Structures are given as C-alpha cells and as structure tokens.
Chains A and B, each alone.
Chain A
Amino acid sequence: MRALSASPSPLSALNRGPLAYVLLTAYLLLTSVLLLTNTRTSLGTDILFILFLLGFLLIYRARVAGLYKLALGAIMLLAIVPYFGAQNAYYIELAIQAGIFVALALGLNVVVGFAGLLDLGYVAFFAVGAYLWGIFSTDQAGQFLPGFTPLPAESFYLFLALGLFVGAFFGALLGLPVLRLRGDYLAIVTLGLGEVIRVLAVNLDRPVNITNGSQGIKSVARPPLPEVMRTLLPGLNDPQLYQLLIYLMALLVVGLSVFVVYRLKNSRIGRAWEAIREDETAAIAMGIPLVRMKLLAFAVGASFAGAMGVLFAAKQQFINPPTFDLLRSIGILSMVILGGMGSIPGAILGGMLVTLLDLQILPRIATELGALKRQGVVIPDWFDPAQYQRALFGLLLIIMMIFRPEGILPDQRRSEEMHAGAPARPSGQPDQSN
C-alpha cells in the first residue's frame, strides 16, 4: 500500500483525506443497494455482484482508518452477502465456493509463495480431507471396518480439526521423499503424487472397499443446524439455513487462515521460509534447519487443504475422484500466481477472481450465447466458453509469467526477486549470459 501511494496517479488524489471515506462509503452503499434490489439471477446481477466484490479491493486499497475498514468489511460479509444469499441461493453458493478456494489459495501460498516450493499436487490433501469426512460420516466406513456405524453429524466439528492434522500428516508424508529435490523436479514429483492419490481414490474399492471407487461417496453428512439459527431467522427454510451455516463456516475458516498466515509470515518461521526461497545454500549456512522448515511449509499448506476438504465434502454431500484432478491443483496455483506469490491479499484476490471467472463469468457468457442463439444469431456449436477452463488457466499462467510474474497485488520482496534475475536490457538483445 505504501508503494502504491508513492507512485503518483490521478486516482491517488481521490484516495486522500475525508474524500476517501465519502467515496468508499458511497461506492459500497450504491453497490449494496443495487445488489439487494436486483436478486434475480441474470447477467446484470452478475455484474453487480462482481462490482460489489470489487468493494473489498477498494476497502483494502483505500486510505481510511483500519477500524473503519474492518467495520465495512464485516457489514458486507456478515450482513449483506448473507441477506442477498437468502434471496438467491446461486450467489451464496458462489460465495461459499469462493471462500473455500480462497482458503486453499492461502494454503498453497504458504508452500509456493512463502517457501518457494512449487506444489502441483496440492489438491491431493483436499481430497484426503474430503474423503476423511466422506468415509466416516457414511456407511462407507462399515465396508472395511466391520460393525462400524456412521458417526453422528455433530462430529463434523471434530473432523474439521482432525482434517487439519490429517492434512498436515499427509503433507509431511508426501513432502518427506521430495524435499531434497530442486525446484523443478519437486514440481513434477508432487504432480505425480497428486495423480497417485487420485488413482488410488479410483482404485481403492478393491480388494477392500475404502473409497467406493469411481462411483464416489453419496449422502455425506452435513453439520447439524444449530437451533439458534432457526429461532433467529424464522423466515428461512432448511436448505437456506444450511447454506448460510456453511457460508459462515467458510468465512470463519478463511478468517482464521488469514490470521494464521499473517502471523506465520512475520514470524521466525516465515523469515526462514523466505531465506530458503531466496537462497537455499545461504540459508543452510545461516543455520536454518532446511528439511524441517520445508516439511513445515508442506504440512501447514496441506493442513489448510485438509480442513477445507472436510468442509467441501459436507457442502457437496457427494464426492468422487474426478473432483480432485490435476486441473483443480492448477486452478488453485493460478489463483496464487494471479494474485501474487507470497502475497496474502493477492491470494485472496486471486482465489475470488479465478473462482468467479470459472464458475460465474464463463458459464454466464455461455448462457447468454445460448440465448442469443435461440434468437437466431449464428453461433457455432463448438463455441462454449464454459468448456475451455484449461485454456483459461493456461493463458492466465503464461500471460502472468511473461508480463507480471509478481502478480496483481505483489509481495514486495517476492517482486524484487522476480526481477533480480532479469536485469533490464535493451529490447532486441536477448540475454545470452545466463
């Protein structure tokens, strides 16, 4: 933020003194009111929703008192989004998805951004968390543990915590063999391990049925609905309340994640990760326990994914192996890269942006095109933007790497590293010195 205000831009005049308060509040009020008066799912509401979410970026960037920012953010997240979501289930579903992916991006950011370990199999830990709750909250566990009855839904909260530990355990387990490897090998090996977990999820229905194979696990239990919510919000029916509950829980987990990640980043551990990322050899020479620190990064990142997996399984109530494929890992990676490796606000922004692009904007364009087609506009059958996620992620990765490797909201230090290796040189004179 300091770096931003240092660079003079025409907008920075607006972002100063009382005017900043007025403009920010006016923008948020306007988008909120517009959003709450247009609750029907449509292209217009989509745009409003995105403008509304843009408010968070403005809050982050605005030069207003921290307490005021916090209050605005809290009102938006705890009052407006839930109220709007109660009118339209589609958008709260979107908010939940965004929350889950923001938490995943924050977790991957620890591994990729802080410690500089490119992990392409991150979704494996997400899968572990999801299957943990999926197996033990349904009859599935009875298939290999004779006499086992499904755990009561109340144990969801216990499993949310358990997901953290199981995720961390698997993170350390998978991290252990690969930590001696250099960056690019590590990427490929984690990719392989991620695929191994997915293949195991497909194949572990024989000889002992653990995962129910490619059919997946159905009717995963949801967390019980607190009576308080029913009495406080009598106007809502059960599905709405469940969504609200999951939304609040996702919000809570994201909040906790942000807190933990901020604390970690500025701690001794965070500085150790930074040192490892910049120069491993020098870090060893300074007495940083390399393997322990790398393992810790893997475990912390994986624990986020484990907990989110439990929440995801409870939200979907159905999990199957294709949910946890490589594309999902790469999607999360592109969130981290889009936002800025090593940057916490960046991971949040990237998580929201990519989720919106993937789940809202592309399908919306597809629907609108379909509508146009029905009106007689000639649009070829093959053109379905929602089908081209890979191209989207791919383009995103290439463009970011070439033009802005440090991301949209860069971390200062990381940004310097990205540009340290490639000094400015006159164009047309390719570097041959490397």
Chain B
Amino acid sequence: MAVAQAIPLRVSQRSVRNTLVGVFGPLGQVFLFVVGSAVVLSAIIIVIALLLRGTRTDTDLLTATLVILPQVIVDGLVRGFLFATIALGYTLVYGVLEFINFAHGEIFMVGAFSGAAFGTLLASAGLLPNIPPLLFVIASVAVGMVVSGLLAVIIERVAYRPLRGAPRLVPLISAIGVSLLLQDGVRLIANVTGLGFNARFQTPNFGPPLQLAQIPVTPERNIPLILDVRALIFIVAAVIMLLALNYLVNATKLGTAIRAVAQDRPTASLMGIDVNKIITITFLIGGALGGAAGILFGVRVGTVNPYVGFLPGLKAFTAAVLGGIGNITGAMVGGIVLGFLEAFVASYLSLLTAGALSGASYADIVAFTILILILIFRPSGLLGESVTQKV
C-alpha cells in the first residue's frame, strides 16, 4: 500500500516544481475538504433548522443555529486538525508495517503530559509568566515531540519488533497491552511527581480571544466572530506539521526510502535500504507528530489526564480509515471531515432535539458509525486506492 499518492519522482532529477507539488498539493486537497465540509454541513444544518422551525415555539431555531455557526466551524477545524495530526501517526505506521499501532493514542497522551510537566516546571521556577506565549508553545512542542518520538521508538523496539512475522493479531494484542500499561504508568508517574490525575497544563497568558468580525443577523443583534488564540495556534501549527511531513515524505531521500519500504519490504531491503532503521524512523516521526498534537491539545484544553488519549486515538484511527489508511493526505482529509461532523453533531443535536439527546455523547456514536459504514461500503477510504487482499 502506497504511503502517498504516486507522484512521479526520480531522486536524481528532482525538479523544484515536483517538490512544490509534493509539498503543497496535498495541502490544497485538505483545504478543499475543509471548505467543502464546512459549506455542506452548514447548508444541511440550516435546512434542518428551517424545516424544524415550525415545531418549536420557545426559540427561533434559525437564529439560534446561525448564532453559534461560526464557533462550530472553528471548533470543527480544531477537532479536525487534532484528529488529522494523530491520524498521521497511525497511517504512517500502517503504511510501513500494515499494523495498527493501538498505543498511538497513549503516545499522544504522553506528549500532552510531558507538556504539562514542562509547564509546571517553568511555573515552579517562576519563569512562566515572563515567557512569550509563542516561544512557550514552540519549546513545549519540541519537548513533546522528543518525548513521544523516543517513547514510540522504544515501544516498537520492545513490544512490536520481537513479534514481527507473527500472526496479525499477536502484535495488535501486544499493542493493546502497551496502551493499558502506558495509561497506568503515566497515572503512577503523575501521582508520584505531584502533577495529579488531572494535571493542569500551565501556560503563559495568551491574551483575549481575537474578534475577527461582527456579522449582523438582525438589525439589533450581531454575531461576533471570535477566534481563540490557542485555537489559532493549533491550526497554524498543524498546517506547518503537515507541510513538513509532506516535504519529508515526498521530497527527501529518507521519504523515498519510507515509501519504498511501505511498498515492498523485501525489495526495499534488496535495494540497500536498512528496513529496520526506516521502521524505527517511521515510529519516531509518527510518535513526534502525536506528541506535538498532545501538546497543542493540552494548551487548548488546559488539563490533561492519563486516559485522555484513548478516545481521540480511536477517532483518529477512524479518521485514518475514513481517508484511506496508509495514505498521508487521506489521514488529513479524514481527520478534517470527521472533526467537522463531530463538531456539528456535538453542537446541534441538543439544540435541534430540544435537549432530548445529548450531543457530546452521540458525537462519539457518530464517529464509530462512520467507521463501520466506511469499512462496509468503501474500505479503501475517501482517497485510498482499492487493494486486493494479499494471500
């Protein structure tokens, strides 16, 4: 299964144009899906609100819907990029090993915790209020990437490599074990070090949210379009990471080696590629992306606990499958689509059913339903090519 869409690429005669297409092309696709998801879902929700308008007398459903719409879109974007960055880790490893790294959600969680520890350390040294927020974000992301990346490499070495070549379920069960062990291991460390089960993610003050615009709905009422600085940081950082990953995979020699290993391990090894090294590097990259996502998540949410990685991990896997597992652009697109869907369900389900159904809970069900539907009707995902099962 190819990691990326086949881009004609000859290492010796790489042209600038090819590089640019390889790096920015996928981003264009992601952008299309962002706009597409936002527009389509907004249209659907507005139509539903119009249809249900007559049934409700207590509030004007249409206005209520429109008032929160910009916020829901921002929320969807943040969720989407969260799932996308985690999903990249799943998809990279799956592309190379055809193995679901079940512990990836926990690698994300460890990243978030290392950021919380970093913040607490700075705060106890009295440095935290003086650091520019942007510098703090960059430094903590670096910490998270190192910790999570190394952790992923160690896990691969200890728990997965001895099982390569065993039946498929064996490494998967081992990965489930790693996931549980990490949850309790971090809980233990958090308790010992005094971070606590619900560790506070201390950050410098990011300042008030940005007010982008005022959209008039009715003459006397405007909808303020607000963007939280942390959400903005999240989105920008995620885009930068995606670009860097695209560059790495599509335009460097290392990326070529990764793609070669993904396509055919024995042949890649015959071509002089050190397969084990490439697999280690893949885990390192995937883990580092997960760790960075964990930090950004922590910065935005404010507290983290040892079980915080499980559900995002599962949903990111869903996103990877939705986009076509093994496909990097697919993982981003899948994350975006899933994030928007979830944000819309979480925000509007309660509103439209007058509180009868809790949106946040049913958003989880929506994610799993999508996973099942995709696997039944289009197992290759939105962007994946169909693959016949190898015997």
Please report A residues at the B interface, Cβ cutoff 8 Å: 116, 118, 120, 177-178, 180-185, 187-189, 191-193, 195-196, 199-200, 202-203, 206-207, 281, 327, 330, 333, 337, 380, 382, 388-391, 393-398, 401-402, 405, 417-418, 421-422, 430-434
Contacts and interface: CB of A to CB of B under 8 A. Distances in A.
Interface residues of B, number: 60
Contacts of A389: 184
A206 B173 contact: no
9 contacts: A183-B168, A185-B321, A203-B361, A391-B181, A391-B185, A394-B181, A417-B167, A432-B266, A432-B275
Contact of A393 (B169, B180, B365): B180
A394 B389 contact: no
A432 B180 contact: no
A217 to B, nearest CB: 19
A417 B166 CA distance: 9
B276 to A, nearest CB: 6
Contacts of B166: 401, 405, 418, 421-422
A401 B177 contact: yes
A418 B163 CA distance: 10
B184 to A, nearest CB: 4
A388 B180 CA distance: 10
Contacts of A421: 165-167
Interface stretch (B55-63, B289-297, B337-345, B369-377): B369-377
Nearest to A403: B162
Contacts of A422: 163, 165-166
Interface in B161-188: 161-174, 176-185, 187-188
A118 B102 CA distance: 14
B159 interface: yes
Interface string B325-362: 00000000000000000000000000001011110011
A199 B365 contact: yes
Given A421-B167, A422-B165, A195 B192 contact: no
Given A118-B172, A191-B314, A430-B164, A394 B368 contact: no
Given A178-B375, A206-B356, A388-B188, A187 B172 contact: yes
A405 B178 contact: no
A177 B372 contact: yes
A391 B372 contact: no
A184 B172 contact: yes
Contact of A396 (B102, B162, B177, B321): B177
Interface string B19-48: 000000000000000000000000000000
B271 interface: no
Contact of B389 (A118, A182, A396): A182
A296 B304 CA distance: 42
Contact of B180 (A177, A199, A330, A380): A330
Interface of B: 99-100, 102, 159, 161-174, 176-185, 187-188, 191-192, 265-266, 269, 275-276, 314, 317-318, 321, 353, 355-358, 361-362, 364-365, 367-369, 371-372, 375-376, 379, 389, 391
Given A195-B364, A333-B173, A396-B177, 12 more contacts: A182-B389, A183-B169, A189-B368, A192-B368, A192-B372, A203-B362, A394-B180, A402-B159, A417-B167, A430-B161, A432-B269, A433-B266
Contact of B169 (A118, A330, A394, A395): A118
B376 A180 contact: yes
Contacts of A401: 159, 163, 166, 170-171, 173-174, 177
The 9 closest A-B CB pairs, nearest first, are A397-B177, A394-B180, A394-B181, A391-B184, A192-B368, A382-B191, A398-B177, A207-B356, A401-B174
Nearest to A405: B170
Given A195-B368, A382-B192, A431-B164, A397 B176 contact: yes
A405 B164 CA distance: 13
A357 to B, nearest CB: 14
Contacts of A391: 180-181, 183-185, 188
A391 B192 CA distance: 16
Contacts of B172: 118, 183-184, 187
B167 A418 contact: yes
A358 to B, nearest CB: 13
A333 B180 CA distance: 13
Contacts of B179: 394
B96 to A, nearest CB: 12
Contacts of A120: 176
A398 B159 contact: yes
A192 B317 CA distance: 11
Main secondary structure of the interface of A (DSSP, over half): helix
B358 A203 contact: yes
A203 B163 CA distance: 40
Given A118-B169, A196-B365, A202-B361, A395 B314 contact: no
Contacts of B170: 401, 405, 418
A337 B173 contact: yes
A181 B372 CA distance: 10
Nearest to A194: B368
A418 B166 CA distance: 7
A397 B180 contact: yes
Contacts of B376: 177, 180
Contact of B100 (A177, A188, A281): A188
A301 to B, nearest CB: 16
Nearest to B177: A397
A180 B376 CA distance: 7
Given A200-B365, A394-B177, A401-B170, A192 B100 contact: no
A191 B179 CA distance: 14
Contact of B372 (A118, A189, A281, A330): A189
B169 A184 contact: yes
A434 B367 CA distance: 33
Contacts of A207: 353, 356-357
A199 B321 CA distance: 22
Among B170, B192, B275, B357, the one with the most A-chain Cβ atoms within 10 Å of its Cβ is B170
A156 B155 CA distance: 48
Contacts of A184: 99-100, 168-169, 172
Contacts of B191: 382
Given A196-B365, A433-B266, A188 B164 contact: no
A390 B179 CA distance: 9
Contacts of B368: 189, 192-193, 195-196
Contacts of B358: 203, 206
A334 to B, nearest CB: 8
Contacts of A188: 100, 102, 314, 317, 371
A263 to B, nearest CB: 26
Nearest to B355: A206
A390 B180 contact: yes
Contacts of A196: 364-365, 368-369
Contacts of A418: 166-167, 170
A180 B179 CA distance: 26
Nearest to B103: A394
A187 B355 CA distance: 33
B325 to A, nearest CB: 9
Among A281, A380, A393, the one with the most B-chain Cβ atoms within 10 Å of its Cβ is A393
A432 B314 CA distance: 29
A199 B364 CA distance: 8
Contacts of B188: 382, 388, 391
B375 A189 contact: yes
